[in-house]
Amino acid sequence: MKTLRGIDPTKVKRILIIKLRGIGDVVLSTIVLEPLKKTFPNASIDFLTENPGKKYLEFIDEIDEIIIFNRKSTSARFIQLFEVRKKRYDVIIDLFSNPATALITFFSAANFRIGFPYRGRKYAYNVFGPEERSSYHAADLHLELLRNAGLEINKKKLQFKLSAEDLAFAEQFIKANDLADSNIVCLLPSGGWQSKRIPPGKFIEIADTLKSKYKCKILIAWGPGDKEDALEISRNVVESIIAPNTTISQLSAIISKSKIVIANDSGPMHIAVAAGVPTLSIHGPTNPILQGAYGSNNETINYEELHCINCNLLECPYNQECFRDLPVERIMNKIENLIVNNNLKVDHA
């Protein structure tokens, strides 16, 4: 197996990172940018992703070009193989490692082709990450791939960068809703899977308990498919504020203005973490050890004694007891940990 350890950094001119799928997956993959830039400061770094990821990545300084993965047709994807090959990358890091991205990596003819040795895809790579995923948080799994390639990891940081326009949008929203200098607790009722979505009633219970204990403002932020849940929470939480319809970058900017974020396993949850907002992620079907709010300044929770916890099912076959029956006292204990561990100044009610 090849390794990048000891290679002359000046010989690496072009690097391509590949990460497809949802916004949360892309956010977690940005953890590789800092060690790559430190090791190869003169190399250009491109990123192959899908449209949702582009909206998050486009202002990050370490990325030179964003390439959109072409799903339109077999012929279009075949053309993209040649387009990637023409760029003559020295290093390709395939963080996704599915059949399509493995083929892109192999056909690139890059000297260093880094990916995971999954069945039917190992042929594409000459530097391998761990074969077993279940021992690592998704972000750490990406770093482990770099370690196997011989890179030194000194920092573990998700990248987050917004445009001046998006920041101005968030600041105007904060000002218009009299939220400046407030203790904003942002609730994020979002999630791609039905089973991952915390029922609105649970968010209402959390919000009411928070308001009874702390002087805080409840902000409800939402994205596509979340509006009905967000409206139900807003109608039932006194003096709560609901965010307007936004782009993903505007939503990210609003999230970044919060003091605490409470969310289920979702892309916006990972954005909150990347933005440096102390975050509590609440889990049902997914494992918080693998997909939870990343980093020691954040917290995770699930109803760990439930028989079906971490089921990984897209649809709940029961009644989402993993959320409905999770004692709010346990959630409040986690929020208290966030406040203490991050030295947040939040007055009691």
Mean pLDDT lowest among 14-18, 187-191, 300-304: 187-191
Residue 167 scores a pLDDT above 90: yes
Tell me the three state secondary structure of residue 77: helix
Q: pTM of this prediction?
A: 0.96
Q: What is the DSSP letter of 198?
A: P
Asked if residue 90 lies in contact with residue 15, where contact means CB atoms within 8 angstroms, the answer is yes
Residue type, 101: T
Question: Residues 252-285: pLDDT tens digits?
Answer: 999 999 999 999 999 999 999 999 999 999 999 9
Residue type, 123: Y
Domains of the chain: 9-148 (3.40.50.2000), 164-341 (3.40.50.2000)
Residue 344 scores a pLDDT above 80: yes
The pLDDT of residue 2 is 77
The pLDDT of residue 1 is 65
CA angle (266 as vertex; 265, 268 as ends), nearest 5? 130
Beta-sheet strand order (sheet of 65-68): 65-68, 44-49, 14-18, 91-94, 112-115, 127-128
Count of alpha carbons within 13 angstroms of residue 204, beta-carbon side:
14
Tokens linked to 160: 């987050």
**133 or 240: whose pLDDT is higher?**
240
The pLDDT of residue 131 is 82
Residue type, 121: R
Closest CA to 33 of 64, 67, 10: 64
Asked if residue 188 lies in contact with residue 255, where contact means CB atoms within 8 angstroms, the answer is yes
Asked if residue 346 lies in contact with residue 214, where contact means CB atoms within 8 angstroms, the answer is yes
